Structure 1
């Protein structure tokens, strides 16, 4: 055999052997997942093994010999390696049952359970964020259904139960009349870490802050004068968790500050960049702490109060700012106090911790037959850095495909079109990528029907051209971190 082919064969054989040990080595871990998720959990571990291994040169060698470069093997990793080895003369009479067809069917079945069957002319499901104004517009809900809406999203951060129930009743009424099914997705609000002005700017709700200026982050306005700029993060425990030198982002990352010092009153921040309109810092703007380990619980008291409504009416529940498997355990435990039958959870990946812990979150999710993942790109971009968003959103997609978990692509999909009636060139390209997900989330805007029509056209064209590029698999830090953590602490 050609020496280079022999080297390829040896490397693939080593990978195949390591993957074959998964069932034995991680027996306890696999024993905790739902029986319907066994093969998917194994495939996720196979893929993590592949992605912790430097195989760039191996991929190049495989490609030179016209063999599979393993670039599209997420849903069937071990099987793809075995098929490639068969081409090199090895025989696998008991090859992996997780084939490409198995993975595709598993994701499809899970998607239909979570998001329903999308309209025939749509290649993907669409989730539309509802607003109480929809209730005042005659025939709008029916038009949304006819134009592709398969899931209606209700955000618990806005309005109240009475309004939510009115929305649900209207959706179900129009669904029955039209014969078009529609799922109800209820998004838990999660921690509301938002700006509250306590001193200067309190009356107007805004204050000018230029680059180089300083202001305080504090839980109270005590000890400050009315001329001081004092911002409350609106959540206890945030300020005390900060350390000098850590970054604090405000207003979707438009304002970058850094902790200069701390004392009993709070944390003094210095403004390193302010790209907000007129250099203003406004109330009710989100705050992100990418460098800090906050002790704020993912499931708030307000979320707990919403759970009875969610368990009764929701088809799926969105879990905001989930960070660890323990968070998911807590949510499911609280829902089970209300009912034995609980809605599937959609994990919103929007923090650095959630990205790092994604394999463990997926394995915890697999303890139930159905769950999904939302790539919430708004807060995620601020948390990990805008320049890393492209690679991280792809990594999340790969890992979810390896676990056969449906993905919702969220945040700013055709946002300019939605708000102003005209799409930018960049967001058209982004919408094409969104169409590769199992579901696309559309936020609120004034041109929802136009967005649906444009998105359908883009999605059909993108799916018709869908051919995965030959990817180069550098080792994933997520995979390395997972196996290091397992080796040191086991899987709790």
Structure 2
């Protein structure tokens, strides 16, 4: 490098040094979240606060200027906001010869303290780390898992780390049997396998259906009558009808409100509303139409329902959750107060001797808006994680925004040292048909950036767990969160 190039680099480094010092102070001035009563003693929440303050600014040009000097672009600072900025400022001061007081160069342990916090939080929630991968595998147990130990043992041997029991299905006797078989399988395999019981919440589903067709398949332009407190009714103008699991839903619809059915496979709009029924018109559906069936989910992205996340059924189910589970899956949680509501109900039931971990399922727009406050409140109570419930979330915010939001949730959770679960339709074709698609294999590989990945039930779920175990093991050598890890390549 000649003298002119050296001078140019020195001048640029000095300019960027000034900009970075200003940015650091702007972050400190803008970090009001952790100092307003939200877990101010928790370094993870302080780091989250700094991350939120930073991400209110567009620093893309600054990133490129840093890269041109061979310095960190700050593109992977989620778990270490101030340590990264301080390291960059220190390096810029050395390059530029600036004598102004600079932050001390962070010690290596301090620089990676956020990663250590995340690992500790993950172990507290899910138990010991598997031997060949950091990402745990969660499996939703089918009803037949209550009939005998064989399926659960096969899943455990294939690599299952967490068994999920969906309290929307089966009954307490079945849940107790499933839990016993999980504990037995864990003993046989010599592994710590956690039990997650997922309380259903006010999930809206179709009930009884009626149609002129024996197996109704809805097409664009079809009308469907939704009924609140009566049997489904069809006529010559409306050829399909369905009852709903939450009757008051029908009375709160307005003309023009959108409705999404079966994880977004169909979208309709409300055409008319009467006292106890609403007529919807199908606007979009998959090629060949979508089957109208009972027990399929309904999402209402435009309708304010004002529902509590805990139903009467949930409150009764929590007694069995306390008896059997290690973790509670909390559906439709949207505000910090919802966590207080859950803790109040648990206290009325009487807490077990062990601390139950909490998984907040992020599936509604309000939960996205309140995610930092939810995290700050939940981290105060004990082991906590976030599930990206991609099915309901996509149905609420739209498929186009889902890819973007699932990334942002991962970033926010990493900044707060919160384990994240990548859920819904992972390896769905593999689980159901025994052969994965190329697209879902790529999706599953992306899940290696989360602390846990969830599979649903299906005939080939054991084979899917085994495949996922191998895939996560390979991806473990290539990526940690957003950071590629460069092991030696063997293909060239």
Could you say whether these structures have the same fold, taking a TM-score greater than 0.5 normalized by the shorter chain as the test? yes
Cα distance, 1:55 vs structure 2: 0.9
2:337 pairs with 1:326: yes
Higher mean alpha-carbon deviation, 306-315 vs 115-124, is at 115-124
2:35 pairs with 1:27: yes
**Aligned alpha-carbon RMSD (Å):** 2.7
Distance change (3 Å), C-alpha of 1:216 and 1:138: closer
* Larger-Rg structure: 2
Note the 1:67-216 alignment, pairs <5 A.
Answer: 67-89=71-93, 90-93=101-104, 99-136=110-147, 139-197=150-208, 200=211, 207-216=216-225
Matched, 1:419 2:427: no
TM-score by length of 1: 0.87
Counterpart residue number, 2:445: 432
- What's the offset of the Cα at 1:135? 4.3
**Separation (CA, whole Å) in 2 of partners of 1:459 and 1:121:** 8
In the other structure, the counterpart of 1:447 is 460
Whole-Å Cα distance in 1 between the matches of residues 109 and 79 of structure 2? 8
Normalising by structure 2, report the TM-score.
Answer: 0.87
1:102-132 residue CA offsets vs partner (Å, 9 max, x unmatched): 1111111111111111431233211111123
1:15 aligned residue? 23
Q: Residues 339, 217 of structure 1: CA spacing in aligned structure 2 closer, same or farther, 3 A cutoff?
A: same
Structure 1 pair 218–8 and aligned structure 2 pair: CA distance change class (3 A): farther
- Give the deviation of 1:199 after TM superposition: 5.3
Q: For 1:199-237, what per-residue CA distance to the aligned partner results, in whole angstroms no more than 9, with x for missing partners?
A: 546x96x53443223233331348966554443332143
**Partner residue of 1:264?**
275
Closer, same or farther: CA 311–94 of 1 in aligned 2, 3 Å: farther
Contact 2:310 2:342 in 1 (8 A): yes
Deviation for aligned residue 1:340 = 4.5
Determine the C-alpha separation between the residues in 2 that align with 1:415 and 1:222: 33
Structure number with greater CO (CA < 8 Å, separation at least 6) is 1
**Cα 1:467–1:335 shift into 2, 3 Å:** closer
Equivalent residues, number? 465
Give structure 1 stretches of 5+ with no counterpart: 472-492
Q: Does 1:42 align with 2:46?
A: yes
Cα distance in structure 1, aligned partners of 2:458 and 2:251: 37
* d(CA) in 1 for partners of 2:319, 2:482: 45
Offset of 1:137 from its aligned partner?
Answer: 5.6
Shift in CA distance, 412/25, structure 1 to aligned 2, threshold 3 Å: closer
Give the whole-Å Cα distance in 1 for the aligned partners of 2:232 and 2:451.
52
User: Is the 1:238–1:295 contact (alpha carbons within 8 Å) kept by the matching residues of 2?
Assistant: no
Map Cα deviations across residues 248-306 of structure 1 (whole Å, 9 max, x no partner): 11122122111223333433322112327555422221111112222222111111111
- Return 5+ residue gaps in structure 2 as ranges: 1-8, 94-100, 485-492
Q: Is residue 199–residue 221 contact of structure 1 (8 Å, CA) maintained in 2?
A: no
Larger CA deviation: 114-123 vs 154-163: 114-123
1:181 deviates by 1.7
Which residue matches 1:363?
376
Offset at 1:324? 1.7
Once the two structures are superposed, residues 114-167 of structure 1 have per-residue CA deviations (whole angstroms, 9 ceiling, x without a partner) of 111143123321111112313446643233222211211111011000011011
